[in-house]
A = this chain, B = another copy of it.
């Protein structure tokens, strides 16, 4: 496409989404849920056809020399599609949030004032590789009564187009506007620049991808961005704590999976339990090949662990999100130092205290300034599904609007409703 065409295409998508959003906002729960169940059925009915389109992306990816994990993430296997279908059905089964009126109270003037939950309007979603995000975003958009414009990665364009067609078929067969879910049809990078700069059509942008992409979008966007940057998550082993439990949870938080943003990257240990706790977790990390970047005190204790890969932590290590088999470890005096360390070095994503002390737990929950704060649980739980949100469009590391895993409610807003009987201001 020429420059003009991309601009025209994006403008058209924006204008159409805006119109569709008004229809979606007043759509009934029954109709939206019908569309979601139709979409689930269409995904199951079209497994073979979808795999033909998906194969085009896979072939191109292999020809382009993408590595095996990247190619794997592109695949629309029957299992992936079944998971997508089930996700749609789960959303359909969830209670309706749009139109709910809360807090309706009579005021001294006689008017009754409450708040109604309404859709945000139009969101733009920018994502990379995994084509099933098309279905996740589309289904959340339908359930929340929004319209959306989806911009997937160029490597998955054929798969995304095929999936988006099924979404539009489900919308159309349910009496909803097909423009409620639109896929950007060009892989031209310029399209993103337009999508994030149409405040007249788009209410919010949700980018999912690498930190570089998200920083670039946040900097250039002319509308609000629900953004997820680093996940430098901490596990703090308190004194007193159940050492066996602490070992199990700290191990899980780091090693159950290295790549997710909610994996713990830093382990803080209270001095009072360090001599008992560190050799135990150190032996597990050594056995799993996890490199330990230690404060001097932690290193002194961990040298007794056979086969431990120990390094001295630099100042930068306390900020680092490794997303791999590396962890930074520090011995701290106790709760105060742990909270101060976390609030200074953390990316404000997810932190967990492992403790038996109720007062410490309460203070940790209140004073740690992160989107998820946990007591005696693995940081790996920070996830929309685990939190019972039904689905997750992303995780916000901002405080404004939505914080933490973003589900249906994060795509909504509250407007005031006032019910009177002819009251006037005097």
Contact = CB atoms under 8 A, between A and B. Distances in A.
Interface string A409-425: 00001111111111111
Interface string A9-39: 0000000000000100110000000000000
A12 to B, nearest CB: 19
A120 B400 contact: yes
Interface string A374-413: 1111101110001110000000000111011100000001
Interface stretch (A156-164, A187-195, A296-304, A362-370): A362-370
A257 B426 CA distance: 10
Interface string A178-209: 00000000000000000000000001100000
Contact of A248 (B26, B245, B354, B424): B424
A224 interface: yes
Contacts of A367: 22, 25-26
A150 interface: no
A113 interface: yes
B248 A375 contact: no
B388 A422 contact: no
Interface string A90-130: 00000000010000010101010100101011000000000
Contacts of A424: 248-249, 252-253, 256, 377-378, 380
Contacts of A415: 370-373, 403-404
Bin the interface of chain A by size.
35 or more
A343 interface: yes
B422 A224 contact: no
Contacts of A136: none
Nearest to A389: B113
In the A-B complex, the 7 residue pairs with the smallest Cβ-Cβ separation, listed nearest first, are A377-B420, A252-B424, A245-B422, A380-B425, A374-B418, A401-B401, A372-B416
Interface of A: 22, 25-26, 99, 105, 107, 109, 111, 113, 116, 118, 120-121, 203-204, 224, 242, 245, 248-249, 252-253, 256-257, 343, 352, 354, 363, 365-367, 369-378, 380-382, 386-388, 399-401, 403-405, 413-426
10 contacts: A26-B363, A113-B386, A116-B365, A204-B400, A224-B224, A252-B424, A253-B424, A256-B426, A370-B415, A373-B418
